[in-house]
Amino acid sequence: MIMKHAAPISPVEIDEASGTVLLRTTHSAYVLRVDRAAGTVRHVHWGAPLPLADAVALPVWTEHDNSFAGRWDGVEEYPVDGGARFGVPALDVRFTDGSSPLEPTVSDVTLRAHDHLVVRMRDRTRPLAWHLHYRVPADGDVLERWAEFHHTGTDDGEILLLRYASAHWPLPQRPAWRIGSVHGGWSSEGRLERPVLPVGETAIGSRRGHTGHHANPWAALDAGDAGEEHGEVWVVALAASGSWRLTVQRTAAGRTGVVAGEGHEGIELRLAPGGKHRTPVSLALHTGHGFGDASRGFHHHLRAHVLPHPEEPRPVLYNSWEATSFEVSEDNQLALARRAADLGAELFVLDDGWFRGRDDDRAGLGDWTPHPERFPRGLRPLADEVHRLGMAFGLWVEPEMVNADSDLFRHHPDWVLHLPDRTATELRNQLVLDFSRQEVTEWALSRLREVVVENAVDFLKWDFNRSFTEAGVHAAGPDARRVHVEHARGLYRVLDRLRADFPQLRIEACAGGGGRVDPGILARTDQVWTSDNTDAVDRLTIQHGFSQLYPAGVMSAWVTDSPNPLTGRVVPLRFRFHSAMAGVLGIGGDLTRWSDTALAEAAELIRVYKDIRPVVQHGRQYRLLTPGEGPLAAVQYVGEDGDRAVVLIWRPSTAFGPALPPLRLRGLDDGARYRDEETGRTWSGATLAGHGLPLPDLPPGDCASTLVRLRRVAAPGREE
């Protein structure tokens, strides 16, 4: 008998007769319908998988027929300002005559590739076209969308883009909605909330010129009945590293959708005749298996389709900042490097204070040559010794910033963001260089090339320590504030070219902690500094919020001194390590003051981390117990091949109460057996999931923690 293999199902299917398009991910379907007669593209379905025949037969939702209703509101894939549309537009423009309404029509629908759909639209009479792009990346559930705008005229004057979103994501009808997102501030990032979504417009975003500590460009929506591992969840994100906004609209008529785009109100872009603009990518997914599955879907997508080197293990780093601050010298850095190497660190990072004029934070930014008094021989002898010790050499830089007290500012005062008749505001004693200007980014690229080559740099910690103010351009004009989005594009160009020039260079993105974390920056960096707050207890909450969208393999986490330099909290070394071992482990304390006992314990914990690193950095993450919702917090990782699992358990404070129940694990094979590598006891996957892992004894007192390593020891269906 000859077996016939079914042809793979195309990720994009089109029914020409009805204009229906079906986009398939691994576990979901997204359906739209091109209505050429009405000149629009209407949304049909986003949720569980369905066949094309059913997609063709599905009706399109319509509003009540009355003169006060917006017949298109919530129905269109990409709503514009014009006609009977009263909802949030994805596209809003102003033409040279001052008019703004658009009258859309569909030009054509094409498959650019088997997984890439393009719907070309234009205004019926005006010289503006906009192309809607849909892409279905392989082996996952994330969809990608973006838009391109084209001024199709020749002598019609400029067109002003007032709102230019990447996508509008319509949601199905549900009786109620919750919106999940993170908020916070400097050193308090990632605070997760899921309030009820009210009728009206709910906006989250950043007006700061960077992604921001106070919010992050994603939102998770559910009907109020989803949990960590059950229920339908829809997540929308944006790959934007400048200013951005997500606007979630819920209408009284029962429609809900998310408009995702860069910029904010007042950030206008001008299209000259023949000009075009492409938006950042918006990413979204649907799952029927809760917030945890949604997170794992995004983790997989970022590793498979976004990160430059997802397969590489992120090294255990040592950073000198908290040990020496600005008081760096060749001698004290060499002493720290030798201790770090003895512990097992793989990367040594020299932080702020290494360059000319940098005795404190009031001077030196922009003058990227070694401090002549602190490093009279330059940085190369230090780099060479770090390499001899078996570690990579890293360097802190902040290329987008300048101090007024610097040679760079004295030579180029016009390079900073400013408006000619406004006083420039200094924050942290520094100003922002205008990376929307080619001469500025060319200078930055040239200087960084020299720094990397002259100092044998393997790793850059790229910082960004203030938000935008007076954010105009030198040649101020009607769209002078475009730097809120164009600055990030200049940053991308520098990073892309730098990485092309130095393929072995690795980069950590930092912005006073987690102030620039998004899928756009992750496409050009290898990890991100999660927060300037290294308090191991606070970090549990910060890391919980971070994990909603981003994988542990990009989450830089340090072990620092106790009492904590920021909070003053006293935390045992073991708890500090276990907190940081939930991501990319780093050490940031003053090793010259650690006792021999502490150094020995740290070396052993680093050895354990290297053993579990493949599971933590590349495995599937399961959030078992949420920080702050009970006496314990716990997270689990399962290796890519399913053979290993790691469980981290923390008890931040001691409280009297009943004995704690077993910890029910996730993601294991029910029919396999797993051995606890510390105790030697074995359990079936079914027992660990159903009954739970009996909790190991925790040390007495506050800030107790433990780590459990499990290894599969018998194949499915067989006893040990």
Query: Active-site residues: which are they?
Result: 463, 532
- For tokens 């008529």, what's the residue? 253
Q: Is 157 helix (H, G, I), strand (E, B) or coil?
A: coil
Nearest to 451 by CA among 501, 389, 515: 501
User: Residue type for 316, please?
Assistant: V
Instruction: Enter the tokens of residue 219.
Output: 């939102």
Listing DSSP states for 505-573 in one string gives -EEEE-BTBBSS-SHHHHTT-SEEE-BS---HHHHHHHHHHHTTTS-GGGEEEEE--SS-TTT-----H
C-alpha distances out from residue 469 to 266, 480, 564, 590, Å: 14, 13, 32, 35
> How, if at all, do strands 527-529 and 555-559 pair?
parallel
Distances (CA, A) of 348 to 150, 298, 481: 48, 30, 39
Burial class of residue 405 (count of CB atoms within 10 Å of its CB; 0-12, 13-18, 19+): middle
CA distance 594 to 406: 37
Tokens linked to 559:
């072990």
Distance CA 412, CA 414 (A): 5
Assess contact for 361 and 425: CB atoms under 8 A.
no
Separation between Cα atoms, residue 688 and residue 599, nearest integer Å = 35
User: How many whole angstroms from its chain centre is CA 631?
Assistant: 29
C-beta atoms surrounding 152 within 10 Å: 17
Name residues whose C-beta falls within 8 Å of residue 5's C-beta, 6 or more positions apart in sequence: none
The tokens of 276 are what?
Answer: 């075009």
- In 3-state terms the chain splits into helix, strand, coil percentages (rounded to 5) of 20, 30, 50
Contact 351, 587 (CB under 8 A): no
Q: Is the dihedral of CA 605, 589, 624, 308 positive or negative?
A: negative
Type of residue numbered 267:
I
**Cα–Cα distance measured from residue 413 to residue 433, given in angstroms and rounded to the nearest whole number:** 9
Nearest residue to 129 via CA among 271, 280, 310, 256: 271
CA 217/CA 237 separation, integer angstroms: 6
Q: How far apart are CA 437 and CA 473, in angstroms?
A: 9
Q: 447: exposed, middle or buried (C-beta count within 10 Å: 0-12, 13-18, 19+)?
A: middle
